[in-house]
Each structure stands twice: as C-alpha cells, then as structure tokens.
Amino acid sequence: METWDALRSRRNVRTYRPDAIAQDDLLRIVEAGWRSPSAKNRQPWDFVIVTDAQQLRDLSTVWQGARHIASAPAAIAVVAPEPPDERRRVVDQFDLGQATLAMAVAAADLGIGTGHSSVGEQDRARQILGVPDDHFVAYLLGVGYPADRPLKPIKSPDRRPFDEVVHHGRW
C-alpha cells in the first residue's frame, strides 16, 4: 500500500478476526514506533508485544476504552520512564503519540487494523506486563485484522470539514 493510502485507510478497529498476526508483521509494526522521531532523540519508549489471550483479557480492564483489547489477537503496550517534571511529561507524551501513530500507519500498510487506548489503572497495567514501578504504560494498541471490513482508503472520513480546520497565516 502507498503511504498516502495507508494514512487514508487507518481507522480505529475495535473488533477483530481471530487470526493470529505473524511475528514478522508485529515486529515490523513495532519497528515503525522504534523509528519514530523524538525530542533530542531521547526515544523515551519501550514496547511490549502481547499475544497471550489471558493477558489480553487482563489488559482490557485497565481503562474503559480498552475493552477491545480482550478480543484482539495481539496488543502493543507503549511504556516510558516516569518523567522528572511536567515539561518532560508533555514532550514525552508527544513522542509516544508519534510512535503510536507510526505503528498504526505501518499496520494499516499491512492491512492490519489497530485500536488505541489510554491506560487508567497504572498499577494493574504494570503488574500485568511486568513493567517496573519507575515506568508507566502510556497507551495500548490493539492489533488485528478487522472483523467487519478490510482496510481501504476512506473517501468521506467522519471529520470536521477541512475548510473549517485549515487556516492560512492567521486564525
């Protein structure tokens, strides 16, 4: 798939076919996160690939928006060190978001859907994943083939009108 088509095809997928995701595909998706830009090239991330069904069910309980993780054949947890101050937290969150989007687009390029989630219950998430106490689980990314329809470029996305959100020179 072309990059532009992958960007236009990416959508939040929350229901998945039960088919396993090939290890090479999971590693390619995570490599996209690993290659993402970061402030001062700090690369504040670690990635935990989860394919165990019970672990996925457990992860689905760490946030109301994570329920889809239970039925995903895989998930990727985006983990980072606890930041030393608020400024670093803001910068790291931006970097972690870029890594998450890069993985979502790389997955779409392979015809694999993703659905992202925040993490509310940090202690529980750390326990499930074996993450040290000085780190936090920023996001979960459910990964799987869409159950409803394959990924393809969306001609009319559910977005605010383009002319309403694009400004030139001034608001």
Domain boundaries, the chain: 3-147
Q: What is the pLDDT of residues 93-117, one digit of tens each?
A: 999 999 999 999 999 999 999 999 9
Question: Residue 1's pLDDT is what?
Answer: 65
CATH number for the segment(s) 3-147 = 3.40.109.10
**The whole model's pTM is what?**
0.96
- Sheet of strand 135-144: strand arrangement: 46-50, 74-81, 135-144, 113-118
Q: Is 79:130 a contact under the CB 8 Å cutoff?
A: no
- Helix then strand count (H, E) for the chain reads 6, 4
Q: What is the pLDDT of residues 116-163, one digit of tens each?
A: 999 999 999 999 999 999 999 999 999 999 999 999 999 999 999 999
3-state secondary structure of 8: helix
Q: How far apart are CA 127 and CA 119, in angstroms?
A: 13
Of 64, 66, 67, residue with least CA distance to 78: 66
